[in-house]
Amino acid sequence: MLEAFQSHIKTRALITPTSNYLLACSGGMDSMCLGDLLLRSGINFEVAHVNFQLRGKASEEDQLFVQNWAKSNRHTFHPKLAATEKFAKQGGISIQMAAREIRYAFFEEIRAAHKLDGVILAHHEDDQLETIFLNLLRGTGIEGVYGMAERKDWLIRPLLNFSRAEIQKYMQENQLTWREDSSNEKSDYKRNNLRINGLPAIYELEPDARKNLLTSFQRLKDTGRAFGGLFDTWKKTNIKQDHPYQSLPFAAMQNQPGASTLLYFWLRPFGFNSDQAQAIAEALGQPKTGLIFEGSGYVLYFDREELVLAQNQKNFDPIYIAENTPELVLPDGKYKLIREDYPCQLDKSPVNAQLDFSRLDFPLEVRDWQEGDKFIPLGMNSSKKISDYLIDIKVPLAKKKSIKVLLSAGEIAWVIGLRIADWGKVTPATQGILYFKKY
């Protein structure tokens, strides 16, 4: 096993003799095996141990065992005494989750403080199988078969290719000692139950089950990676980016195989789950304008001919603009406020606005548009409801929610980013203007 381990860490560039690491060591068989392999491979490392105080005297003996081993091999020892039960109660989480959070936070604290190159963990092939099964039981989909990464950020798991049986054989052949954790034999934890009862039952049904499962999971991993590349291409082709919005034409999803999966991978980063993706895919069969799905801080709208993804609009407090205010900051952009003498060059972009300064009554007010709001659009003689105006110019449903208006003495002077009111326009009699220029 030693030669296989050394070859593996070299081939995969996981661990190098010129770097310094932190070994996470519980004192159990797996971490003691890993510690011995690192020693025999000439790897520089310090040792970290967390006493979770969950097994009384046995927890103290575990810590002393690891401390003595580290000292005998002249490795710096970093212990942590953790109030695990208290931490779990305060956080409203399970003991297992509390222990995990405490453990990884401590490892990162030591790694960063001592400028170490990584934390080496003793997870092995059996742990990986258990993790994948638990992921699949939680309904994680194809990504669940990825399991634990051999290297991710500062975490390194060099034993994922080695089984528990290989580790035990190595320990016995080299007459190495370790600490037994009695809690590992209790089947009241889901992972323990799977290890003690679930997986052995599967192996009994099919002698080659372990090998076949590992092969199948690897193929599914490769399939997932291939899909990732295809999804990126699909996304670039079909998803339109119009900050702060994203949109997907209904037509792009007609007769699209795996529509719910594509939707899930697009929407998942925005807090949507697989059930919602399935419901959205089904709704695309007969899309209804105005249908809404909510994620985490985001909303997906069914617009006229497309899906539109937008941030959930927070309550917008009115902004007041004085004569000397230098800029206007809105959720979707910033405007410089420039005072200019007229005549000057006119900006015809609807995004910006130039208003006759003499017609404005300060302070100006910026707020969300409201039902019943009316204004006289530039070039027209009669007033129009803003709701009707937005329909006329086909503003997407998602964007409607974020439209702001600029008011002077209660009169709408500008539907921001779209059109000014006719009464505020620049005329031959204008002497000065207030220029809202987006930047």
> Does 72 show up as a binding residue in the annotation?
no
> Does 148 show up as a binding residue in the annotation?
no
Contact 366, 405 (CB under 8 A): yes
What is the assigned CATH class of domain 239-311?
A: alpha beta
**Before 343, cis peptide (omega within 30)?**
yes
Contact 9, 106 (CB under 8 A): no
Q: Is the C-alpha dihedral spanning 419, 422, 423, 426 positive or negative?
A: positive
Two tokens, residue 431: 């002497």
> Does 26 show up as a binding residue in the annotation?
yes
Residue labelled with tokens 């081993």: 69
What's the rounded Cα separation, in Å, for the pair 365 and 409? 8
CATH classification of 319-438 is 3.50.40.10, yes or no? yes
According to the model, what pLDDT value does residue 332 have?
82
Q: Identify the three-state secondary structure at position 246.
A: strand
Model confidence at 315, pLDDT cuts 50, 70, 90, reads confident
Model confidence at 269, pLDDT cuts 50, 70, 90, reads very high
**In whole numbers, what is the pLDDT of the chain averaged over residues?**
94
Q: pLDDT for 341-400, tens place per residue? A: 999 999 989 899 999 999 999 999 999 999 999 999 999 999 999 999 999 998 888 888
> Does 296 show up as a binding residue in the annotation?
no
DSSP, residue by residue, 233-245: HHHHHH-EEETTE
Q: How many H-runs (helices) and E-runs (strands) does the chain carry?
A: 14, 22
Per cent of the chain over pLDDT 70 is 99
> Does 260 show up as a binding residue in the annotation?
no
According to the model, what pLDDT value does residue 185 have?
67
What is the assigned CATH class of domain 2-213?
A: alpha beta
Using alpha carbons, select from 345, 286, 31, 327 the residue that is nearest to residue 180.
31
According to the model, what pLDDT value does residue 304 have?
87
Q: Domain map of the chain by residue range?
A: 2-213, 239-311, 319-438
Q: Is 264 left (phi over 0), alpha (psi -120 to 50) or beta?
A: alpha
> Does 27 show up as a binding residue in the annotation?
yes
DSSP, residue by residue, 280-323: HHHHTTS--TT-EEE-SSEEEEE-SSEEEEEEPPPPPPPEEE-T
Question: How much of the chain is helix, strand and coil, in % rounded to 5?
Answer: 45, 20, 35
